Chain A
Amino acid sequence: MIARSTVLLHILMLTLGFEALEAGAAAQAPKPSLTGGIETTSVLYSDGKFRSNNYLKLDFVSGAFSAGIQAEYYPDPLLGYDVNLKGIGLPGKYIAWNSGGWSITAGDFHDQFGTGILLRSWEDRMLGWDNAVGGGRLSYHTPDGRFSVKVLGGVPRKYLCYSATNRIAGTEASLRLGGLTLEGSATVRHDGMQTTPGGALGASWYGKGFSARGEYVISRSGNAQTLELGYARKAFSSALLIRRLDRMEDPMGMNYLPSLSLEQTYMLAGLNPYTTFAQGELGGNLNLFYRFKKWKFHVNGALILALPSALEGHSSCRLAYRDINVEIERRWNRALKTILYLSIQENSPTHGQRNATNAQNVLVLDGVYKTRGPLSLRLQAQYLYSQELTRDWVAGLLELSSTKGWNIHLRDMYNHGDTREHYYEAGAGWTRGAFKADLSYGHQRAGLVCSGGVCRWQPEYTGGMLRMTYNF
């Protein structure tokens, strides 16, 4: 046993020693390398069904050359994910050459033009979303990044393969002059029946403490405008985002139209999120941040109106959603930090078509306490007051974590206004370096799961979940 371990140790030391010797040279010409990531999420449901989502990503780099794959395996996709994902596939594969600002890719890639309204190809595993484009891309940027241009074209991903009918091609250029950046892009889409052009023009300007960015998009039968304004001075900063969408639905799913409202992070505040009304909405979102000694304040508000052109029988804008969120954070000492959070929301489930809205008020108390040792404790108490839908909710979270790499948590959401049902979860996690494992068991509520302003429906279930990720 000792001999074996010694052999092992020798090999390792040789490798590391070898590395150290070449450390100087490595900076100029990195050695070929293989990196990757593994992610697996499996749930054993209370009805005995086993479902699992698995991803393996590998990238090989040697100088200017790179190549990689992403393999996915769904013996049965997790509940809430598209059942058509079932099976094993290689939805990601590419070879690329990057040198002196030039980059050429053949295979599957993700990209985005401007703010993504015209075109965004991206992956979000929490949503089960990946609209990678399989084809080719050529791009160039000057060493200082002041000028860049790219052209791309291909077939969007569908499930584990490619779309049979959809094709997309586009080009984008951007130029920076001092604090001013100008961007322009154009796309052509073909859905098997018809070909539609689209275009976007954008400009952004960054001055001392002040910033502005605007974009105008024409796509298929509709158009969109956005304006972002930012202002910062010492401990105060603010950001205002205004966006108008008019007939911007995209059956191809390449338009990125996230919800304008704040993405809620507390359980009860995120129970009934707003979803974008791409047919026609006009909305604004204002953020104010302020820091004063040990206090930090954040006020956020959104007002979103449905355009009459997108509704039936209305001649003026109608309320689709509004909210105001206030967060007050205080660090009391090295050990204790508390957050008080208040969210007042009003959501029209019909996007303003009918008068009925759902209003809810959520209050959260959140505290983190760090002991002198490796442990820290997080406690959350949440309350949702509402006279609509399932009325009042109460929720709590207790989490204990250690710098040794482990954590455990217990949470419960209880609807005491109507259904009297508990949604509980108990879990433990372990992390070491780039390895992370989480094991939990619970009863999960049906509802929208959102990430980056995009949501998917999650059915109710009871079960145990194991999730592991590893990067190398």
Chain B
Amino acid sequence: MKRIELILALLFALICQASAQNTGSVVLETLDGGKTTPAQWTDGKTPYVVSFWFVGCKFCIEEMDAVSEAFEDWQAKAPFRFIAVCTDDARGLARAKSFVRSRGWDDFSFAFDTNGEYARAMNAMSAPLVFLFDKDGRIVYTHNGYSPGDEEILFEKICGLYKN
């Protein structure tokens, strides 16, 4: 029995250490047609949230609306960046960009993963899916799905990063 627990604990330890994702070859498009890579998002200063979404995902949009509304207040308490990674394909790209511009999400950064390469590397097989990265680019919190109020739990986790 003890041996099983030991193996489980070691396995857990291995999973805990799993922070670097296989995103080396991933290049994403930005809102203005430029390129960005996930490695560029780690700045050593502030934590950041990566949120996978697509235009047809009602829960994703609800979550981003909720974060957007509280964003300014939260920045004063615990600064973080919010990177919305859109998984709409080439067909939906123009609509997604247009949608973003009208939505008033001025505080977010946007990346467009039109062939799902980044989503694959992150094993993001459903949306909404949120990853919280610390300032050094390590994943410290993951949340699958969205229920109104989940954004407050996410913010608590961000605040937690400033307490250590």
Mark A residues whose CB is within 8 Å of B.
4, 7-8, 11-12, 15-16, 19, 23-24, 26-27, 30-31, 33-37, 39, 57, 59-61, 64, 66, 68, 96, 98-99, 103, 105, 110-112, 114-116, 120, 122-123, 125, 139, 141, 144-146, 148, 176, 179, 181, 204-206, 211, 213, 228-230, 232, 235-241, 256, 258-260, 263, 265, 285, 287, 289-291, 296, 298, 331, 337, 368, 370, 374, 376, 401-403, 405, 407, 429, 431, 433-436, 452-453, 469, 471-472
Contacts of A35 in B (CB 8 A): 18, 21-22, 123
- Residue contact B19 to A30, C-beta cutoff 8 Å: yes
The CA-CA distance from A384 to B102 in the complex, in Å, is 29
Give the distance to chain B from A297, nearest Cβ to Cβ, in Å. Answer: 9
Smallest CB gap from B90: residue in A:
A115
A-B contact pairs, 27 of them (CB 8 A): A8-B8, A11-B9, A23-B138, A26-B19, A111-B115, A115-B91, A120-B90, A148-B27, A148-B35, A232-B102, A237-B98, A237-B99, A238-B98, A241-B91, A289-B99, A289-B102, A289-B103, A291-B104, A403-B147, A403-B150, A429-B145, A431-B143, A431-B145, A433-B142, A434-B143, A453-B89, A472-B15
- On chain B, the residues within 8 Å of A298 by CB distance are 99
Residue B103 contacts which of A7, A287, A291 (CB distance < 8 angstroms)? A291
- The one of A26, A144, A206, A433 in contact with B136, judged by C-beta atoms closer than 8 angstroms, is A26
Known A-B contacts A235-B104, A265-B56; A34 and B18 likewise in contact (beta carbons under 8 Å): yes
With A7-B2, A110-B115, A289-B102 known to touch, is A34 a contact of B142 (CB < 8 Å)? no
Q: Is the CB of B126 within 8 A of A469?
A: yes
A358 CA to B85 CA, complexed, in Å = 37
- The answer to whether B144 touches A433 (Cβ under 8 A) is yes
On whether A239 and B94 interact (CB within 8 A), knowing A4-B5, A401-B147, the answer reads yes
Query: Which residues does chain B contribute within 8 Å of A105, judged by CB atoms?
Result: 25
Contact B90 A112 (CB under 8 A): yes
CA–CA, A455 to B12, complex, Å? 39
* Cβ–Cβ < 8 Å partners of A96 in chain B: 22, 24-25
Extra pairs beyond A15-B17, A125-B125, A401-B148 (14, CB < 8 Å): A27-B136, A35-B123, A96-B22, A122-B116, A239-B94, A296-B102, A376-B147, A405-B147, A433-B142, A433-B143, A435-B144, A436-B144, A471-B125, A471-B144
Q: Which of A144, A145, A469 has the most CB of B within 10 A?
A: A145
Contacts of B147 in A (CB 8 A): 374, 376, 401-403, 405, 407
Q: How far is the CB of A268 from chain B (nearest CB, A)?
A: 15
Residue of A nearest to B18 (CB): A33
User: Are the CB atoms of A33 and B20 closer together than 8 Å?
Assistant: yes
Assess whether B91 is in contact with A27, with CB atoms less than 8 Å apart: no
Q: B24 contacts A235, CB within 8 Å?
A: no
B136 to A431, Cβ gap below 8 A? no
| B91 contacts A258, C-beta separation under 8 Å | yes
Most buried by B among A110, A115, A123, A471: A471
Residues facing A in B130-161 (CB within 8 A) are 136-138, 141-145, 147-150, 152-153
Residues in B with CB closer than 8 Å to A115 are 90-91, 93
A103 to B35, alpha carbons, bound, how many Å?
A: 16
Residue of A nearest to B115 (CB): A112
Please state if B145 and A258 are interface contacts (CB–CB under 8 Å): no
Given A33-B18, A263-B56: A141 and B35 interface contact (C-beta under 8 Å): yes
Residue of B nearest to A263 (CB): B56
- In the complex, the answer to whether A141 meets B17 with C-beta atoms within 8 Å is no
User: Roughly how many angstroms separate A374 CA and B37 CA in the complex, as a whole number?
Assistant: 36
Closest chain B residue to A180, Cβ basis: B33
A-B contact count (CB 8 A): 238
User: Any chain A CB within 8 A of the CB of B32?
Assistant: yes
A189 to B90, CA, bound (A): 22
Residues of chain B with a CB closer than 8 A to A296's CB? 102-103
Interface contact A23-B25, CB-CB below 8 Å = no
**Contact in complex: B18, A8 (CB < 8 Å):** no
Q: Which of B29-60 contact A (CB under 8 A)?
A: 32-37, 42, 44, 56, 58
A110 contacts B120, C-beta separation under 8 Å? yes
Is B16's beta carbon under 8 Å from chain A?
A: yes
Query: Cβ of A30: which chain B residues have Cβ within 8 Å of it?
Result: 19-20, 137
The distance in angstroms between the C-alpha atoms of A265 and B58, with both chains bound, is 9
Nearest-Cβ distance from residue A277 to partner chain B, whole angstroms = 15
Q: Kindly name the residue among A39, A370, A434 whose own CB sees the greatest number of chain B CB atoms within 10 A.
A: A434
- Chain B residues lying within 8 Å of A431, measured Cβ to Cβ, are 143-145
Query: Is B90 within 8 A of A61, CB to CB?
Result: no
Q: Tell me, in angstroms, the Cα distance from A429 to B147 when the chains sit together.
A: 12
A37 touches B90 (CB 8 A): no
Chain A residues closer than 8 Å to B117, beta-carbon distance: 110
Q: Is B95 an interface residue (CB 8 A)?
A: yes
Q: How far is B90's CA from A285's CA once the two chains are assembled, in angstroms?
A: 14
